[in-house]
Amino acid sequence: MTTLHLRVGFMPLVDCALVVLAKDEGFAEAEGLDLELVREVSWSNLRDKLNVRLFDAAHMLGPAAIAATLGIGGVKAPMAAPLALNRDGAAITLSLRRFEELSRLAEGDMADTAVSARALAAMVERRKASGLPLLTFAVVFGFSTHIYLLGEWLGKAGLRLGEDIRFEVVPPPQTVEALASGRIDGFCAGAPWNSAAVAAGVGAMVHASVDLRRNCHDKVLAWRADDVERRPAAVSKLGTAILKAGAWACRPENVARMAQHLSASDRLALPAPLIERILDGELIQGADRPSRAILPFIRFDREALRPDPDDADWVLSGMQSAGQVVVTPQIREIARNVFATACFEGISAAIDKAPKI
């Protein structure tokens, strides 16, 4: 079997795990792939390098793949996501000071997202009355699960992101510093950045994404749309390696090893124990609260990796309420097609048919 070289870009987040495991646990090699992983500093770079073929595939925010495919915001780079890389795993964190204020203003159980949202609305109202600047929330990219989740949370109390609350994009590794310096009051991001802010003693986790939405769409493996047509063998080999990595990642006995791989200096470059707690579903919350068990906090099982055209509908409605797009039937069809399932079904069936060793 000849070896096929593939270069895949990723962002340092826990949800890049399956791409990392495909290489580090030998699943890619077993498929005859020589996988080269490249850590990137921005989602824009991943999109642009995929577009000019410096990357064969990329770890990508599902909404960013749709935005690029539709050409929203100038860059048109049609993509296809033959499989997802995870579901769930995001959370909302506030600075300690804002979290304490929020807790004081809350009327009821803060675990209820409607209660916390109303407390936030009260805080926004008070600041307005006393002439204080708007609160600033951050997400890591303009087209992301995180911005639409924040929008849903705020919407529960009639607040609008970008109007009642200032909005900024802050790269993940800078979220801790931005929270500590008071440049932002809170953020919504994927693991491990919420835990990192809590561990640094500057933030308190308010909600996990599962509080707002179960089975939440997140990252995908993106290819150029034309490559999915033109290079089916490459797509299916990498897909097989990733699905197998997913099955491996779901076994509890592998968690410590997985955290070790992710913590490497050319991957996340963060302490393995911090990552391991997240994979164990033991979320540190900060503000003198015990850790919270959410198992699994971030999903890598086979069902989680199945792309779902209905996710595109959710993304589009988030985009529409953020004022990023006006949805037409044609746009809906293009977006749903980014998450077409045929490729996944083929790969998945082939794995199940293969003789078990």
Q: Residue 99 or residue 167: which is nearer to other proteins going by CB?
A: 167
Asked whether position 166 contacts other proteins by CB under 8 A, the answer is yes
Picking from 96, 177, 185, 169, the residue whose alpha carbon sits closest to that of residue 132 is 185
200 part of the interface to other proteins, by CB under 8 A: no
Cβ neighbour number for residue 24 with a 10 Å cutoff: 20
Residue 162 in contact with other proteins, rule: CB under 8 A = yes
Interface with other proteins, residue 178, by CB under 8 A:
yes
> CA 237, CA 3: separation in Å to the nearest integer?
11
- Does 73 participate in binding other proteins (rule CB under 8 A)? yes
Cβ 321 to other proteins shortest distance, Å: 12
Under rule CB under 8 A, residue 187 binds other proteins: no
Is 103 exposed, middle or buried, given 0-12, 13-18 or 19+ CB atoms closer than 10 A?
middle
230 binds other proteins (CB under 8 A): no
**Of 69-77, 101-109, 208-216, 253-261, which part binds other proteins (CB under 8 A)?**
69-77
User: Which residues, numbered 131-150, are part of the site for other proteins (CB under 8 A)?
Assistant: 140-143, 147
Give the nearer residue to other proteins in terms of CB position, either 48 or 112. 48
Residue nearer to other proteins on the CB measure, 67 or 154 = 67
Segment lying near other proteins (by CB under 8 A), choices 39-47, 255-263, 296-304, 327-335: 39-47
Counting contacts by CB under 8 A, is residue 44 touching other proteins?
yes
Contact with other proteins (CB under 8 A): which of 69, 93, 324, 348?
A: 324
Distance of closest approach, residue 264 Cβ to other proteins, in angstroms: 19
- 177 makes contact with other proteins (CB under 8 A): yes
Q: What are the structure tokens assigned to 123, written together?
A: 């805080």
Check binding of 75 to other proteins (CB under 8 A): yes
Question: Quick check: 56 and 227 in contact, CB under 8 A?
Answer: yes
CA distance 54 to 337: 24
Asked if 254 interacts with other proteins (CB under 8 A), we say no
Per-residue x/- track, 284-323, other proteins (CB under 8 A): --------------------------------------xx
Residue 287 or 334 having the CB closest to other proteins: 334
- Write down the least CB distance from residue 324 to other proteins, Å: 5
194 makes contact with other proteins (CB under 8 A): no
Least distance in angstroms from the C-beta of 259 to other proteins: 24
Residues in touch with other proteins (CB under 8 A): 41-45, 48-49, 51-52, 54, 67, 72-76, 140-143, 147, 162-163, 166-171, 173-174, 177-178, 183, 322-324
